[in-house]
Amino acid sequence: MTKLSVNINKVATLRNARGGDVPNLIQVAKDLERFGAEGITVHPRPDERHIKYQDTRDLAKIVTTEFNIEGNPNQKFIDLVLETKPAQVTLVPDAVDAITSNAGWDTIKHIDFLKDVIASFKNAGIRTSIFVDPVASMIEGAKNTGTDRIELYTEAYAQGYAHNKEEAIKPYIESALIANDLGLGINAGHDLSLENITYFKNSIPRLLEVSIGHALISEALYFGFEKVIYGYLEKLKE
């Protein structure tokens, strides 16, 4: 079964909009796990506009499933990950002013940097994943960095799904087959939703984990967290 990790950045955004501590991020994480989520993901950015660095420290103490911290590995981020020691760190090359992640790594251009960062995390016993576009050369380059997994950037799939899902999924299937041959684990995330996740999951061989935030939180406004978590788990079953 493909695991579901819930990105709670948008919960922090809602909290920060009013100040104070409502909704309480710790309680939300606990409830999501109680409802069946198999992981909690956070993406702290340098300006702390949603997840704050202290949130990450606090969550690391209470998450009982799988804690995944994603972000651009500047020194502050690296120090935070090494301090909190999550189950997984996902490296994302987002610019400081990016609204959201919008591209995968150039794993060839940045191979030396990625190798060094990944080695430091793996030496600390933290599983590593690299955010990549569904491009063969980038998958092959990821293998050379020493990463454990890749996370396929799925925005293009989500945008193409309504028009021609067969064409939209093709590069992801090809990338997954390459990753499988290279011994890389496969995660996926960005704009996956209740509408498009079944076809994606059924098409991608050995999909280990999906990280879903914006769509899930939006859907939960209509259906409630518990029903949304149950819906994803049912769709991800073998």
Which residue range is the domain that position 50 belongs to?
Answer: 3-236
Cα separation, 133 vs 141, in Å, equals 12
pLDDT at 36 over 60: yes
Q: Determine if residue 146 is left, alpha or beta; phi over 0 gives left, psi from -120 to 50 gives alpha, anything else beta.
A: left
17 burial via Cβ count (<10 Å: 0-12, 13-18, 19+) = exposed
The residues assigned a catalytic role are 43, 70, 190
- Residues 159-212: tens digit of each pLDDT: 999 999 999 999 999 999 999 999 999 999 999 999 999 999 999 999 999 999
Q: Can you give the pLDDT at residue 95?
A: 62
Comparing CA positions, the residue from 74, 89, 46 lying closest to residue 211 is 89
Comparing CA positions, the residue from 188, 171, 176 lying closest to residue 90 is 188
- The three-state secondary structure class of 70 is strand
pLDDT over 70, % of the chain: 96
Alpha-helical segments (H) within the chain: 9-18, 25-35, 53-62, 75-84, 111-123, 136-145, 155-182, 197-203, 214-223, 225-236
Give the total number of structural domains in the chain: 1
Tell me how far CA of residue 63 lies from CA of 23, 127, 160, 161, 173, in angstroms: 17, 16, 35, 33, 32
Confidence class for position 222, pLDDT limits 50, 70, 90? confident
- Residues 93-126: tens digit of each pLDDT: 976 555 455 679 999 999 999 999 999 999 999 9
pLDDT at 60 over 70: yes
Within 8 A by CB and 6+ apart from 18, the residues are none
CATH number for the domain including 91?
3.20.20.70
